[in-house]
Each structure stands twice: as C-alpha cells, then as structure tokens.
C-alpha cells in the first residue's frame, strides 16, 4: 500500500475508534459491536459537505426529509438485537445504509428494505464502493417484510412505528429477536420483542428518536 494511502487509512481508523470509545462511555457495548464501529466508514454515509461531522454523535439530515441516525442510537439498536449467534437479519428502513453496514460486520446475511428509491440507490452505490457482498437490498414498503428469505434470526426497525405488523413476527424465527422504536404518546421507546413458542415477550430498552415509518413506495 502506498505510504500516503496507508497514512489516510490510519487517520480514518483513529476517527472510527475515537467515536467508538465515546459511544462506549455512554452506552456499554459488546466487543463485536465496538469492533464493527471501528471498521465502518461513516463519512461515506453522510451527505456531501457534512463529512466533518461524520464522527460526532449527532443525527444528520438526508434527502427526502430522512435522517442518518446518531451513532449512539445505532449502537443502542444494534446492542438491543443481541447479535451473537445470529445468521440473518432483516432491516426495515435502509436509509443511508449505515446501520446495515454495522450489521454486516457482525451478522453473516443482512437484508435491508427501503421505500424511497433515491436513498436505496445511493446506499447500493456505497455498498458496492466498499466491496460489501453480504448486504441484500430491496425497494419496497418494509412493513411487508421479505418473505423469500424468512424466517430471520433478527429483525430491526430503523423507523418508529406505533405497532409491529403481525406479518413481521411471522417472518421471525422462534427464539428470534425484533427491535423497534415504538411510539408511545410523544415519546419513542426502543423495544425488544422475543418470539417464543408461547408467544411474544416484550422488553423496553430506552428512549430514542427516529423518523416515523410510512406506507408504500416512493419513487
């Protein structure tokens, strides 16, 4: 590797690691999640002109009135999934693709759905640029799920919802985990659902802030 390229890569890794350290001070995260943040190039997933803010713990605006979540929120959602031992994950709401990138570092197969075509095209370009082959994308209303590859070990909502559609629980394995920001009045609560033989067990994790899930596809 040329010396200049090696230097840039080293500087970039230092930025990733510093951000991961800041996250870990606020939100305890497991080693595999910490490593995923250290290995993920967030500057490629933020809008042009905002790269200087890529490694701050802030949400940033995207096209179509959407947002790339704060790295801290991404960490909380990823940790809530309890990814150890999971082979497949379905994400509802690809957005910029950054959450899918993090998941791709710790789960073998990532399936992500986006209803806004422009955002999905941009995310696909980023995945291609990074040479990532284990993220599979679909242009659709994520609330329909993706039956072709179900059942999934994990399902993650990257948008808030008043309730989880039953069809998504149908696409979750028994013993699987679904994490979603559930709307409660004027608050959003990260909620973990565990599917058992007896039914769905629910746990609340903490407050969060996401754009709301919407119906249909947007071209």
Q: Is 24 exposed, middle or buried (0-12, 13-18, 19+ CB in 10 A)?
A: middle
- The catalytic position among 30, 40, 69, 96 is 69
CB 6 within 8 A of CB 59: no
- Token duo for residue 35: 């490593």
- Render pLDDT for 161-181 as a digit per residue (tens, 0 to 9): 999 999 999 999 999 999 999
Model confidence at 65, pLDDT cuts 50, 70, 90, reads confident
pLDDT > 90: percent of the chain: 76
Residue with tokens 């497991």: 30
Model confidence at 218, pLDDT cuts 50, 70, 90, reads confident
What angle do the packed helices 31-38 and 3-26 form, to 10 degrees? 140
Residue 9 has pLDDT above 60, yes or no: no
How far is residue 89 from each of residues 67, 145, 154, 196, measured CA to CA in Å?
21, 11, 5, 17
- Render pLDDT for 122-144 as a digit per residue (tens, 0 to 9): 999 999 999 999 999 999 999 99
CA angle 152, 39, 84 (to 5 degrees): 35
The partner residues of 116 in beta bridges, in order of sequence, read: 218
Q: Which domains does the chain have, with CATH numbers?
A: 3-207 (3.40.50.150)
Tell me, yes or no, if 133 is annotated catalytic.
Answer: no
Encode burial over 66-98: b for 16+ CB neighbours within 10 A, e otherwise: bbbbbbbbbbbbbbbbebeebebbbbbbbbbbb
Q: Is 165 exposed, middle or buried (0-12, 13-18, 19+ CB in 10 A)?
A: middle
- Token duo for residue 134: 């284990």
Model confidence at 48, pLDDT cuts 50, 70, 90, reads confident
Task: Give the span between the Cα atoms of 109 and 90, in whole angstroms.
Answer: 9
- pLDDT the model gives residue 105: 97
- pLDDT the model gives residue 157: 96
CB 148 within 8 A of CB 81: no
């Amino acid at each position: 590797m040329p010396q200049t390229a090696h230097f840039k890569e080293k500087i970039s890794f230092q930025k990733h690691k510093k951000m991961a350290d800041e996250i870990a001070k606020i939100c305890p995260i497991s080693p595999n999640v910490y490593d995923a943040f250290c290995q993920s190039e967030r500057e490629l997933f933020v809008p042009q002109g905002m790269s200087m803010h890529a490694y701050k713990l802030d949400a940033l605006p995207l096209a179509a009135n959407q947002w790339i979540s704060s790295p801290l929120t991404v960490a909380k959602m990823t940790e809530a999934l309890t990814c150890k031992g999971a082979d497949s994950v379905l994400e509802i709401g690809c957005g910029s693709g950054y959450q899918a990138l993090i998941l791709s570092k710790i789960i073998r197969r990532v399936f992500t759905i986006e209803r806004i075509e422009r955002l999905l095209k941009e995310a696909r370009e980023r995945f291609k640029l990074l040479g990532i082959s284990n993220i599979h994308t679909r242009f659709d209303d994520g609330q329909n799920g993706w039956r072709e590859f179900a059942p999934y070990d994990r399902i993650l909502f990257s948008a808030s919802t008043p309730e989880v559609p039953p069809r998504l629980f149908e696409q979750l394995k028994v013993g699987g985990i679904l994490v979603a920001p559930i709307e409660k009045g004027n608050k959003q609560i990260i909620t973990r659902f565990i599917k058992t033989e007896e039914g769905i067990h629910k746990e609340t994790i903490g407050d969060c802030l996401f754009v709301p899930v919407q119906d249909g596809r947007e071209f």
